[in-house]
């Protein structure tokens, strides 16, 4: 049995047609589950009984289980348990423009970024589409609010779970589904070049963010093993192609690590790397963890790095810090929970 939350509108239309039904019944079904948030096929009051029985034979209403929640000012972090007892995290942030949810796409991660807590626990499996959708539905129900923005920056590398992630985006972006605007959805990748090429041809006006974190191959090799497979030359070649084809701006995420990548020389090198591109840099103060030796760059050097980029006419922002007291580093809540057990 498949979860009803894991099928796109187009796939559900094809399913109904294959069973000799009218495809508009897919829209009816989406209306009940995403607009009215009904959790039983028997409550579909304007749908024929035969159609309901057809749905019940093929689909179920699945639900992930909340295990733990921590909160701080304008941020809450949730630990969910899946049907196979694996754990994932989601983070809800309250911005002045609405509620943003950071969702996980995998159980664990194989990218091995040296500064990342979630990478300490290796990839167990990809999340299914419905397990990503349910992170949104569960938190909206629990907190009685509407999530307006989604970022795929939680545990896992989204483009290492490409097909399920694309279906997830289609479902949450669908006007008859959760109906989150494409430009309110951001996918972050460490730089899987072949999947970036696929993504540029997908056609959605979804934001692309690149986890960069170093301005040269030598440093990036030491921090992010993915760079040995797809180095900066390969990455920037495909990103220029992406920008030209989609006319979309790219975000470069750059975590500042004390004494590692936060020098003035690094800032100048970074400015030269991105100069002339339709892009901006999002500087991220590091969330320290007890398991990893990297430390947060002091505030005065964060500002010096920022000022150097600005003087070099680079569009740059400093990400607002959320939840330093709620184990907000990606994978930290899950890691601490497992170790406590």
**CATH code: domain of residue 239:** 3.20.20.70
Mark whether 286 and 329 lie in a shared domain: yes
Q: Which of 222, 137, 215 is nearest to 180 (CA)?
A: 137
pLDDT at residue 324, as a whole number: 58
Mark whether 44 and 74 lie in a shared domain: no
Q: In what order do the strands lie in the sheet with 98-102?
A: 65-72, 75-81, 87-95, 98-102, 147-152, 185-189, 207-211, 250-256, 279-285, 316-318
Measured CA to CA, the distance from residue 333 to residue 3 in angstroms comes to 27
Mark whether 31 and 91 lie in a shared domain: no
Q: Which domain holds residue 96?
A: 65-340
pLDDT at residue 336, as a whole number: 53
Mark whether 54 and 94 lie in a shared domain: no
pLDDT at residue 330, as a whole number: 53
The one catalytic residue in 10, 265, 330, 338 is 330
**CATH code: domain of residue 34:** 1.10.150.530
Q: Exposure of 84 by Cβ count < 10 A (0-12 exposed, 13-18 middle, 19+ buried)?
A: exposed
pLDDT at residue 288, as a whole number: 86
* Residues lower than pLDDT 50 in the chain: 337, 339-340
pLDDT at residue 121, as a whole number: 77
Mark whether 293 and 312 lie in a shared domain: yes
pLDDT at residue 339, as a whole number: 46
Q: Which of 251, 330, 225 is nearest to 287 (CA)?
A: 330
109 is catalytic: no
The one catalytic residue in 13, 89, 134, 253 is 89
Domain final residue, candidates 60, 80, 105: 60
Looking at the structure of the chain, the number of domains it has is 2
89 is catalytic: yes
């Amino acid at each position: 049995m498949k979860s009803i939350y894991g099928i796109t509108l187009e796939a559900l239309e094809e399913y109904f047609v294959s069973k000799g039904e009218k495809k508009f019944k897919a829209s009816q079904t989406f209306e009940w589950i995403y607009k009215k948030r009904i959790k039983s096929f028997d409550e579909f009051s304007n749908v024929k009984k035969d159609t309901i029985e057809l749905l019940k034979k093929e689909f179920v209403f699945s639900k992930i289980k909340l295990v733990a929640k921590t909160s701080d000012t304008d941020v809450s972090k949730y630990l969910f348990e899946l049907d196979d007892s694996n754990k994932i995290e989601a983070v809800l942030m309250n911005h002045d423009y609405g509620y943003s949810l950071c969702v996980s796409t995998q159980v664990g991660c194989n990218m091995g970024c040296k500064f990342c807590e979630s990478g300490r626990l290796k990839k167990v499996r990809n999340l299914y589409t419905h397990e990503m959708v349910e992170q949104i539905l569960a938190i909206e129900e629990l907190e009685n609010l509407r999530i307006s923005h989604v970022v795929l920056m939680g545990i896992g590398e989204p483009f290492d779970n490409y097909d399920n992630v694309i279906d997830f985006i289609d479902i949450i972006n669908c006007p008859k589904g959760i109906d989150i605007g494409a430009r309110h959805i951001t996918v972050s990748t460490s730089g899987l070049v072949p999947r970036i090429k696929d993504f540029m041809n997908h056609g959605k006006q979804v934001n692309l963010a690149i986890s960069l974190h170093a301005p040269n191959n030598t440093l990036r090799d030491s921090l992010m093993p993915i760079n040995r497979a797809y180095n900066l030359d390969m990455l920037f070649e495909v990103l220029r192609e992406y920008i030209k084809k989609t006319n979309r701006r790219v975000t470069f995420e750059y975590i500042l690590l004390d004494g590692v990548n936060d020098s003035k020389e690094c800032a100048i090198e970074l400015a030269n790397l991105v100069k002339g591109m339709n892009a901006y840099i999002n500087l991220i103060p590091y969330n320290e963890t007890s398991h990893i030796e990297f430390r947060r760059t002091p505030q005065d050097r964060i500002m010096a790095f920022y000022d150097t980029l600005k003087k070099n006419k680079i569009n740059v922002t400093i990400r607002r810090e959320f939840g330093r007291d709620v184990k907000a580093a990606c994978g930290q809540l899950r890691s601490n929970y497992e170790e406590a057990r």
